[in-house]
Amino acid sequence: MLGLVFLTIFVSLNPSPTSPSSSSCTVTSIEDLAEATKNCKDISIGSLTVPAGKTLDLTSLQAGTTVTFTGVVSFGYKEWTGPLVDVGGTNIKIVGASGSVLDGDGARWWDTKGGNGGKKKPKFFAAHGLKSSTITGITLKNTPVQAFSISGVSDLTVSGITVDNKDGDVDELGHNTDAFDVGSSDNVVITGATVYNQDDCLAVNSGRNIRFADCFCSGGHGVSIGSVGGRSDNEVNGVTVENTSIVDSDNGIRIKTISGATGSVKNVKYSGITLKNIKKNGIIIQQDYQNGKPTGTPTDGVPITDLTISDVKGTVDSSATEIYILCAKGACSNWSWSRVDISGGESSLKCQNVPDGVAC
């Protein structure tokens, strides 16, 4: 009993959590964050509200820092481009503890227009320039527009993420709520993600050695490469999508290259894909993409080569197209498809320049 009293006194005399001498710090107010990132390598972020128009800034972390979210993080309302959370550094571990959530309360911005107009909406979670890092167990709820932007990173593993934008389905208010946008990155692994959203589950615009495995995608536009073209980096080389279910979505597998643009898409492999309740296309590969409205005329500036699609099974809605391939002449080659079994919908009559061994 006496021991317990002494222990209590000892603990309460300990320095304040964010004092410079401390290496382990708890942040419960945004004001404490800058000092914590300067002084601490083990940062715990509890429940707090990030003021409107401010970023939860984790870009100045010391190498080797672990940041653990333990509570509910909310964000004030402002029409701006964000991001709401920004993470950077080397050997960084970002962890979402069980029950923690970053809640965008996106309904305050949703107006059916996404990034195409209406209210200016903040992007949510930027992971830019990370090296040799991990992001684990984070839950994003109701993102105003895109969820994770992964750009300029090398050797990043993103596991056990939940993006829950189900509320955005009401009256189709949520739009352009891509779960993972990946660009200009090397060696990114995304595993075990659970996504409910209204746009691409994955969209790789550029990069190398990207793996997306053991994921569940619902409500969106499919697991996508692209759109490719029209940016500063337009090379996609090495994307593997494995063991992933895509349900209640516009498309299953999708590769879209921009009309008139240049670049390349190569070494792409989809395998072990299950489709269910697909509304538009089971597999869609198009070289005529333009935001909002494909042109219908494929162009050859972004060739799609060395594409393997195997063990894809499932169903699409009766009004949906099972497989749609629109390639420019000579711009799709060395494709290898096997055990592709998609049923329930219509066959496309509009396929063009389909490579040998592949059927629409």
Ligand X SMILES: *[C@@H]1O[C@H](CO)[C@@H](O)[C@H](O)[C@H]1NC(C)=O
Residues that bind ligand X (CB under 6 A): 214, 216, 243, 245, 306, 308, 334, 336
- What's the N-to-C CA distance of the chain in angstroms? 77
Taking the least distance from each CB to ligand X, the nearer of 217 and 261 is 217
Taking the least distance from each CB to ligand X, the nearer of 112 and 240 is 240
Rounded CA-CA distance 71/87 in Å is 18
Smallest CA-to-CA distance from 302 within 205, 222, 223 is with 205
3-class SS of residue 360: coil
- Residue in 175, 221, 254, 280 annotated catalytic: 221
CA angle at 265 for the pair 232 and 294, rounded to the nearest 5°: 80
Taking the least distance from each CB to ligand X, the nearer of 36 and 225 is 225
Reading the block at residue 185, the tokens are: 């990155």
Taking the least distance from each CB to ligand X, the nearer of 155 and 306 is 306
Rounded CA-CA distance 162/183 in Å is 20
Smallest CA-to-CA distance from 201 within 226, 183, 218, 184 is with 218
Give min distance, CB of 228 to ligand X, in A. 18
Give min distance, CB of 157 to ligand X, in A. 15
Spatial CB neighbours of 191, under 8 Å, sequence gap ≥ 6 = 157, 158, 159, 160, 211, 212, 213, 214, 215
Tracing tokens 């329930």 back to the chain, one arrives at 344
Evaluate whether 200 touches 230 at the Cβ level (below 8 Å).
no
Taking the least distance from each CB to ligand X, the nearer of 72 and 247 is 247
Give min distance, CB of 267 to ligand X, in A. 6
175 as an active site residue: the answer is: no
Rounded CA-CA distance 347/349 in Å is 7
Residue 227 CB coordination number (10 Å): 23
Give min distance, CB of 274 to ligand X, in A. 9
Give min distance, CB of 336 to ligand X, in A. 6
Smallest CA-to-CA distance from 286 within 298, 278, 269, 303 is with 298
Taking the least distance from each CB to ligand X, the nearer of 70 and 244 is 244
Give min distance, CB of 242 to ligand X, in A. 7
Active site residues: 221
